[in-house]
Amino acid sequence: MKFGLGQKVIITGASTGIGKAIAKELAKAGAQVGLLARRKELLLELVNDVQTLGGKAFYKTADISNRQETLLGISELINCMNGVDILIANAGVGAPTTIQPFNVETQEKIIKVNLLGVIYCIEAVLQTMLDSGKGQIVAISSLAGFKGLPGESGYTASKAGLNTFMEGMRIQLRPKNIFVSTICPGFIKTPMTEVNDEKDMPWLMEAETAAKIIIKAIQRKTKVLRFPWQTSLLMRITGLLPDWIIERVMKKYNDNPPMPKNPL
């Protein structure tokens, strides 16, 4: 599938990071993009950027963890664009899991956004795609979803759940001509990762570089993309290590966990 004039793409979490970079790349190809995020002022800036680059943009505000807001926002975008070809469920959040205190509310928010939020987005586009007999659903997950990590239990659980959910949907929707892709990047330079020490994020990648890789995977209808290969290999190796090694390696991180600047 080639992105181009007339292609209708809805992107969640579009106001910053990977979502914003993808929107700009699609704009260069002349695609129509429906942008969904919480912050109106950032969406308005992105709409202007998209139009400057030759694309056509529509926007709606919604908190992806709120089912009704998400359904309404995406429904309105579908109406504005008169359909949808591709959903890129990109919105995601992250924060450490602490044990003293045990920050349950933070973990609930992570799972609501990273897993339930994607499910709400799929709900919002699915009937339209089924009615048209075609479509593509893309979820931005993470390499972290392949290993439970100390201090990141909530985040890794949300992404592991997302990976499994998307796998099931991929198989179930296969005969319906709706393609499903799960994108699992490593460390990407975004507002979510800026609180981390760059020394703790090997093979850190710019969002613009990641966006180009993701778009190519979408065009190829890749089932599961893990990148960069170095971080993917590192996670595979980590999965084979004994617990005591992982605990020791991540002790410094857990002694002083990097909390997000803005509350979830």
Which residues contact residue 50 at a Cβ distance below 8 angstroms, ignoring those fewer than 6 apart?
23, 24, 27, 33, 35, 56, 57
DSSP state of 13: S
What does 20-73 look like in DSSP terms, one character per residue?
A: HHHHHHHHHTT-EEEEEES-HHHHHHHHHHHHHTT-EEEEEE--TT-HHHHHHH
Residue 137: helix, strand or coil by DSSP? strand
Q: Which residues contact 110 (CB under 8 A, 6 or more apart)?
A: 93, 94, 95, 154, 155, 158, 264
Q: In what helix (H) or strand (E) does residue 254 lie, and over which residues does it extend?
A: helix 251-255
Tally Cβ neighbours within 10 Å of residue 82.
8
* Marked catalytic residue, from 59, 120, 155, 253: 155
Measured between alpha carbons, how far is 243 from 253 in angstroms, rounded to an integer? 16
Tell me how far apart the alpha carbons of residues 122 and 71 are, in angstroms, rounded to a whole number. 9
Which segments within 124-176 are labelled E, that is strand?
A: 135-140
CB-count exposure of residue 251 (10 Å: 0-12, 13-18, 19+): exposed
Examine the residue annotation and report whether 59 is marked as an active-site residue of this protein: no
Q: Hey, which residues are catalytic here? A: 155
